[in-house]
Amino acid sequence: MAKSMPSTHSGSVVREGGTFSPEVDPSQALPHYRIFVKDLVLSGLIGIHPHEQDQPQRIRFNVDLLVEDNCDAAGDDIANVVSYENIISGIKTLLARGHVGLVETLAEEIANMCLDDERIMVVRARVEKLDVFDEAASVGVEIERRGRNFKG
């Protein structure tokens, strides 16, 4: 079996198995940690076909954030950290606005929402429609975006 070689995409490395990992120069990188939302399933209006514009469908979200590590200064106070609760609430707010044509559009909106918090250095957002094809568990898109303050 041939071994796949890493390929670059938007300053990231696609590793064997499709896992994204930001390329970070250790001498430039700030201390960081990861926050994630895994397999959040919500209903929403998404898709380009007429039947998708008024019939909600299940959408799965995965969001992975690379965040500046200031946990030692958090003082055990949620106000001092990036909250995954706020990420989930933000996704729900985006869906509540109404129909979105493309999964790419929704993924970009999630990434932009996350990057509004300057502590977030990198966001990876995956948006999957779950009930489109009987033969597939899901179809969708995964994007990775870097914050304005990312150094790596």
141, 104 Cβ separation under 8 angstroms: yes
Instruction: Give pLDDT tens digits for 108-136.
Output: 999 999 999 999 999 999 999 999 999 99
Task: Judge contact between 93 and 66, C-beta under 8 A.
Answer: no
Per-residue pLDDT, 25: 53
pLDDT-derived band at 48 (thresholds 50, 70, 90) equals: very high
- Token pair recorded at residue 16: 């064997």
Q: d(Cα 131, Cα 138) in Å, to the nearest integer?
A: 7
CA-CA distances (angstroms) from residue 111 to 34, 56, 91, 124?
15, 22, 10, 7
Domains observed in the chain: 28-146 (3.30.1130.10)
Rounded Cα distance between 40 and 34, Å, is 17
pLDDT level of residue 70 (50, 70, 90 thresholds)? confident
Contacts of 52 by beta carbon, 8 Å cutoff, 6+ apart: 45, 46
76-119 per-position pLDDT tens digit:
777 778 999 999 999 999 999 999 999 999 999 999 999 999 99
Place of tokens 């198995």: 17
Task: Work out the percent of the chain whose per-residue pLDDT is above 70.
Answer: 77
Separation CA 130–CA 88 (nearest Å): 18
Q: What is the rounded CA–CA span in Å between residue 57 and residue 75? A: 41
Q: Which residue type, as a one-letter code, is found at position 19?
A: T
Structure tokens at 141: 């898109």
